[in-house]
Amino acid sequence: MKKIAIIGTQWGDEGKGKIVNYFSSDFDWVVRYSGGANAGHTIYFDGTQYVNHLLPSLHPQSDTKGFLGAGMVIDLGQLIGEIRVMTGRTEGFAERIYIDPEAFMVLPWHKQEDAFQEEQASHPIGTTRRGIGPAYTDKVSRKGIKIYWLFEEDVLLELLKRIYTEKRSRYGEAVLNEPEEVARSLISQRQELVDLGVHFASSLDVSKRLREESVLFEGAQGVLLDLDFGTYPYVTSSSCLAHGIAVTGFSPSELDEVFGVVKAYTTRVGTGPFPTEERSDITSRIREKGREYGATTGRPRRVGWLDLPALRYACERSSVDSLIMTKADVLAGIGDIKVCRAYRTGDGITEMPASSHDFFGAEPLYETLPGWKDIEDSSFARFVEYVEMAVKRQITYISFGPETDKVYHRNEI
Ligand code: IMP
C-alpha cells in the first residue's frame, strides 16, 4: 500500500498543513512522527480556519485516521484542546485519533525550562517556548516520561518526583508545580482522552496496520530547522527530514514518494542565518499579504526571496522526489521577483551549501524574473520552470490561495 512523506524544505511554515489536508482523504492514515506543539499546521474546513499543533492534518470529514507516533513529544492539555475543537465540528473525530504509547510527554516544567533558558541565553534561539528542547533533552538523557506510564500511576508519580527534584535543584523558583499536582493533572487528562474516544494504541499493532494500509507521513517544521542538518544551533530539537519516519519503525526506503513543500518566497521565525532575508517595503507587503505571522506564537516572520541553494540542499538532504509550491499568489502583482541562484561564501561561489555551516555568512547572488498577475500568467509558468531547472525536481502541484481545494496539478496550468 502507498506510503508517502510530505515535508517542509525551508524553515517551516511552507503551508504543509494545507497540502497534507488536501491529500489526506486518499490515505488510510496521516502520521505525525516528530516535533510537538511547536508546529502550527493550518487547515480550512467549512469556511473556518483551524490551527492545529499536535493533531495530524487529516481532513475532518473523511475516514482517515490520525496517528501521533513515537518521535513526538506530546503536551496532553494542548492535544485535548485541539480534539475538543475538531470534535465540536465533526462527530466521531476523536475516535479516529491514535497515540503511540512510545511517544514522550511534554511536562509543565519543560515549558518553564524553555522560557528560562531563552531568557538567560546570550544568543536566544527564539523558540516557541512549547517545551520542545527540554522534553527532547530529557528523552535522550533517559529521564523522559513515555505515554505508557500514564497507566501506571505509582511509577508515574515516582518518575515525576525524580524529574522535579532535579529541575528544582537546577532552576530553583523558575520551576513551579509540585509533582503530585502534575501527576493528578496528567491522569485526569489521560481519562479525558479515553472518554473522548482517543485510542492509546499498542505500538506494534498500529505498526502492523500501517504496513498494510496507505500512509501519509506528515513532517513538521522544515529541513533547515532539522536538528542534524539545519542551521544549528538555530534549529528545533527533532528530525524534519523524511528519514525521520525511522523513529516510527519505518524505513525511508518504504516510501513511494517524498514531496517537498516550498513556498514561492522564504520566511523564518526565530533567530539564525537567513541569507535572502530582506527588510524592505516589498517584504513588508509580502508579510501582510501572506499573513506571515507565526501560527504558534503570533510573531512576525522574517521574510526574504526564494533561496535556490537552500532548496537544492534541502532536496538532497531529505531525498525529495518532487516539489509542491505554495503561496505564489502572495507574490502576484508585486512586480519583479528576485530569486537567489547561488551563494558567495568564504570559499567562492556555490550553488549548494556543502554543509549547514555554509549558511552562516553566505551572500546571496540574485536573478531577477518578471512578476505575474495570476496563475495563468506566462511569467508565472516561466518562474516555475526556472525553479524546476535550477533544483532538478519537478513541481508537481501548485497551491494558489489558502483554501484546501485550491491545489492544481502542474498539467492544469
Ligand atoms: P522550538 O522548536 O520551539 O524549540 O524552536 C526552535 C526554532 O524552531 C525556533 O527558531 C522556532 O521559531 C522554530 N520553529 C519551531 N517550530 C516551528 C514551526 O512549526 N514553524 C516555523 N518555525 C518553527
pLDDT tens per residue, range 222-266: 999 999 999 999 999 999 999 999 999 999 999 999 999 999 999
| CATH assignment at residue 176 | 1.10.300.10
- CATH number of the CATH domain containing 202: 3.40.440.10
Per the domain annotation, does 330 fall within a domain? yes
Which ranges of 215-355 does DSSP label H, i.e. alpha helix? Answer: 281-289, 308-317, 328-331
Domain match, 215 and 69 both: yes
Query: What's the CA gap between 209 and 242, in Å, rounded?
Result: 20
Is there a domain that residue 154 lies in? yes
Nine-digit cell at 123? 544568543
Given a cut of 80, whether residue 46 has pLDDT beyond it is no
Chain-centroid distance of CA 392 in Å reads 24
Residue 238 maps to a domain? no
In the beta sheet, which residues pair with residue 146?
104
Tell me how crowded residue 169 is: count the other CB atoms within 10 A of its CB: 9
Pair 114, 172 in one domain: yes
- Residue 127 Cβ < 6 Å to ligand 1: yes
pLDDT digits (tens, 9 = 90+) for 126-176: 999 999 999 999 999 999 999 999 999 999 999 999 999 999 999 998 888
132 lines ligand 1 (CB under 6 A): yes
> Which positions are annotated as active-site residues?
13, 41
Among 179, 207, 225, the domain-final residue is 225
Query: Do residues 313 and 405 both lie within one domain?
Result: yes
161 and 173 belong to one structural domain: yes
268 within domain boundaries: yes
| Ligand 1 contact, 225 CB (< 6 A) | yes
Over range 351-374, report the average pLDDT. Answer: 96
Please provide the average confidence, as pLDDT, over all residues in the chain: 95
Please check whether residues 276 and 208 belong to one and the same domain. Answer: no
In contact, 40 and 294? CB cutoff 8 Å = yes
Q: Report pLDDT for 10.
A: 98
Q: 173 CA distance to ligand 1 centroid (A)?
A: 26
Does 93 map to a domain? yes
Is the residue at 119 inside a domain? Answer: yes
Give which of 69, 72, 57, 71 is closest to 27, Cα–Cα. 57
Count of structural domains within the chain: 3
Same structural domain for residues 290 and 396?
A: yes
- DSSP letter at 249? T
My answer on whether 207 and 179 are in the same domain is: no
pLDDT tens figures, 7-41: 999 999 999 999 999 999 999 999 999 999 999 88
Cα–Cα distance measured from residue 19 to residue 7, given in angstroms and rounded to the nearest whole number: 10
Measured in angstroms, how far is the CA atom of residue 76 from the centroid of ligand 1?
19
Can you give the residue range of the structural domain that contains 99?
A: 3-103+197-225
* Distance separating alpha carbons of residues 373 and 282, to the nearest angstrom: 16
pLDDT above 90 for 411: no
pLDDT, position 199: 96
Same domain (yes/no): 206, 66: yes
pLDDT at 32: 98
pLDDT score recorded for residue 267: 98
The last residue of a domain, from among 179, 194, 209:
194
Q: Determine the pLDDT at residue 323.
A: 98
Query: Has residue 279 been placed in a domain?
Result: yes
- Nearest protein Cα to ligand 1, atom 5: 127
The answer on pLDDT for 397 being more than 90 is yes
Helix/strand number for the chain, H first, E second: 11, 20
Amino acid symbol at 362: A
Distance 204 CA to ligand 1 centre (A): 30
User: Looking at ligand 1, which atom is closest to the CA of residue 41?
Assistant: 19
Write the pLDDT tens digit of every residue in 86-100.
998 888 999 999 999
Which letter does DSSP use for residue 100 in this model? Answer: -
Same domain flag for 354 and 221: no
Q: What is the pLDDT of residue 222?
A: 98
pLDDT in the model for residue 66: 97
CA angle 353, 218, 354 (to 5 degrees): 10
Looking at the structure, do residues 190 and 208 belong to the same domain, yes or no? no
